Amino acid sequence: MRLSSLLISGLTFVAAAALSLVVAGFAVTGIEAGSETAVRRALDKVGYTWAEVTADGLRVILNGTAPDEATRFGVISLVGGVVDAARVIDEMQITPSEGIAPPRFSAEILRNDSGISIIGLIPRVTDRETVITRLNTIAGADQVADLLETANYTAPRGWMAAMDYALDALSLLPRSKISVEAEEVSITAISDSVDAKEQIEKRLTRMAPAGLRLSLDIAAPRPVITPFTLRYSLDDAGGRFDACSAESELSRDRILRAATKAGFDGKADCVIGMGVPSPNWARAAELGIASLSELGGGSVTLANADMTLVAAEGTAPALFDHVVGELESALPQVFALHAVLPEPETEDGNGPSEFTATLSPEGQVQLRGRISDEALRQISSSYAQARFGSQNVYSATRVVEDLPADWPVRVLAGLEALSHLQRGAVSVTPDSLSLSGMSHREDAPSEIAKLLSAKLGDAESYELNVTYEAPPEPADKPMSPELCEAELAAVQTVSKITFEPGSATVAAGSRDTLDQIADILARCDGVRLEIQGHTDSQGREEMNQTLSQSRAQSVLNELRGRRLVTSSFTAKGYGESTPIASNDTEDGREANRRIEFRLIRPANDAASETTLDEAATAPEGTSETPSDSEQETSGQ
């Protein structure tokens, strides 16, 4: 009995222990599930969805990759508020740091009469001493303010070329500001004249290395006009401006409206400049033009503050007196009026007192007519030889007494005015000076009017009939960049540039095409050109990119081998990134496999800009040459 009791007690104990273990297992599992669920809900509520939660008994294990240390610490703190912090096991990782981004390198260079200042952040690899030495060479010793800072980072691509170009450009621009960044230079400057502006822009564009984004803003100041001149003539053929000056756009518009009201229907523009003798210049011009219109013919000339009104021969004296009287009363102060009513010419036995000089298209000059004395004959002949060439002057003048005292001045002024023409004639009489002919300069009438107004003085009349003809094109004139681009496109529509299958070697059949392209580029003076390589989408993208770059470079090398100056050319591969047709068809892939020639224009050429960055999005049909078909498995 005792043994049985002991056996029953032992079995009861074992059963109780087993039951306790089962109950404890269920309790632990419940705690694990409850802790994991509570922590997961808390993390999801604040957006930490990247964190992984695992419960192992009483332990709560956190895994996942936190974006930064602060976020990792925030997760630990949040979980520690849900369960006991001692139960939290942190096994989270942190996203590796990409390092400190390099700074943006740039420099600002300012040059004026006081010297040069340079400020900015440049890579330490830049030879700072060389830069400052070059600036001292440009501005002079002790005229450079160096405010540069350096940083020990690798120089970005294109930085050194951009800085070298900026220093070269600075030497040409006494008043300028130049901003330098990697592969980009912006220039703001002031030139001396419109002609100087065009020359500077052309030179800066040619100097720019291939691949450089260039922005130009060159201003031309208003010219100083001396004497400040306006001349308006009216005859049976209508009215015309021989010269027109204005101090502002408003003044110019008033003058042109007055001429239009007086019957002028031609094309004219006033030169806007400095040197106006009075703020009432436009008012004086309006009155003078209106008075000439009332007379019905003649000319009105303003030279600074002097106005000369010359009526047409045959004008009624009463009308002349009436118009002149009203004009004198209305003219603003400062302006002085000289009115001339020509006397009818009379015949006499001695013939007219006249000196003439003619200039032929070949440059031959003949001097004929009357000269006041032997000294003037020698002076006029020598002056003409100096102006037109000693071998081109023939003199057949004759000394006559009793000529006007200002005859020498009028003769020499007439010869100087004639030198502004390509062909023409000048006639000097006691009452007038008449010049007619042709010039290749559109501003020739204005310049001649200024000259004669300054040389002849007040109350002197003269007649101008100067026409403009565009100068003939020189036989060796280089093609414009736009024409060059069009010619390249025309060649490429006829024949393609092809390559050996799967390689960057130009096929033998494309040599003639490259010869034609080289001939065109030889006539494109200093054009900036990007040679682009393009592929279809067959094959791996990296392989297509590499192959397109190699093929563009091969074309550039072929052009160099033909003795072309290629310093302004660059080669760039675009791979499969810029298709011009669908890659789903063979014809489309064939079109996408191509070499293109694109102009690189200054950044401020908004009308027709094609830069390195924009070439990829340029419309189809401008300067492209599809390449020959290659192995489709490589994208070519």
pLDDT tens digits for range 506-546: 888 888 888 999 988 888 877 888 898 988 888 888 888 98
What average pLDDT does range 89-103 have in this prediction? 77
Dihedral (CA of 165, 166, 168, 172) sign: positive
Q: pLDDT tier at 99 (50, 70, 90 boundaries)?
A: low
> What band does 635 get if pLDDT is binned at 50, 70 and 90?
very low
Output b/e per residue, 81-106; b: 16+ Cβ within 10 A: ebbeeebbeeebeeeeeeeeeeeebb
Hey, how many other C-beta atoms are within 10 angstroms of the C-beta on 19? Answer: 10
Q: Mean pLDDT over all residues of the chain?
A: 83
Q: Sorting pLDDT into bands at 50, 70 and 90, what band is 499?
A: confident
pLDDT at 110 over 70: yes
> What is the pLDDT at residue 367?
92
Per-residue pLDDT at 18: 54
Average pLDDT over every residue of 358-376? 90
Structure tokens, 88? 């939290």
Report the percentage of the chain scoring pLDDT > 90. 29
Return the pLDDT at 630: 38
For residues 151-171, give the mean pLDDT: 91
Lowest mean pLDDT among 78-82, 388-392, 437-441, 462-466: 78-82
The alpha-helical segments, DSSP class H, found in 432-480 are: 444-456
Please say if the pLDDT value at position 495 is more than 90: no
Cα dist. 380→386, 388, 393, 463 in Å?
10, 12, 11, 21
Residue 592: name the closest of 532, 531, 536, 533 by CA: 536
What is d(CA 422, CA 438) in angstroms, rounded to the nearest whole number? 6
User: Greater confidence, 613 or 16?
Assistant: 16
What is the spatial order of strands in the sheet that 59-63 belongs to? 52-56, 59-63, 88-90
pLDDT at 332 over 90: yes
Which segment of 20-34, 361-375, 450-464 scores lowest on mean pLDDT? 20-34
Vertex 180: Cα angle to 177 and 186 (nearest 5):
55
Query: For residue 32, what pLDDT band results from cuts at 50, 70 and 90?
Result: low
> For 550-556, what is the mean pLDDT?
90
- Per-residue pLDDT, 181: 93
The enclosing H or E element of 216 equals: strand 213-219
Does 210 have pLDDT greater than 90?
no
Question: pLDDT band at 302, cuts 50/70/90?
Answer: very high
Position 611 scores a pLDDT of 39
Q: pTM of this prediction?
A: 0.52
> 418-423: long-range contacts at Cβ-Cβ below 8 A with a sequence spacing of 24 or more?
418/357, 418/359, 418/365, 419/387, 419/388, 420/444, 420/447, 420/448, 420/451, 421/359, 421/466, 422/359, 422/361, 422/469, 423/359, 423/360, 423/361
Q: Which residues pair with 306 in a beta bridge?
A: 303, 336
Confidence of residue 501 (pLDDT cuts 50, 70, 90): confident
Burial of 301 (C-beta count, 10 Å sphere; 0-12/13-18/19+): buried
How sure is the predictor about 345, in pLDDT bands with cuts at 50, 70 and 90?
low
| pLDDT tens per residue, range 249-283 | 999 999 999 999 998 988 877 888 889 999 999 99
**Average pLDDT value for residue range 181-191:** 91
Find the mean pLDDT for residues 46-68: 83
pLDDT the model gives residue 97: 64
| Terminal alpha carbon distance of the chain | 101
pLDDT at 615: 39
pLDDT grade for 349, boundaries at 50, 70 and 90:
very low
**AA identity, residue 487:** E
| Three-state secondary-structure class, residue 431 | coil
Q: Say whether pLDDT at 49 is over 80.
A: yes
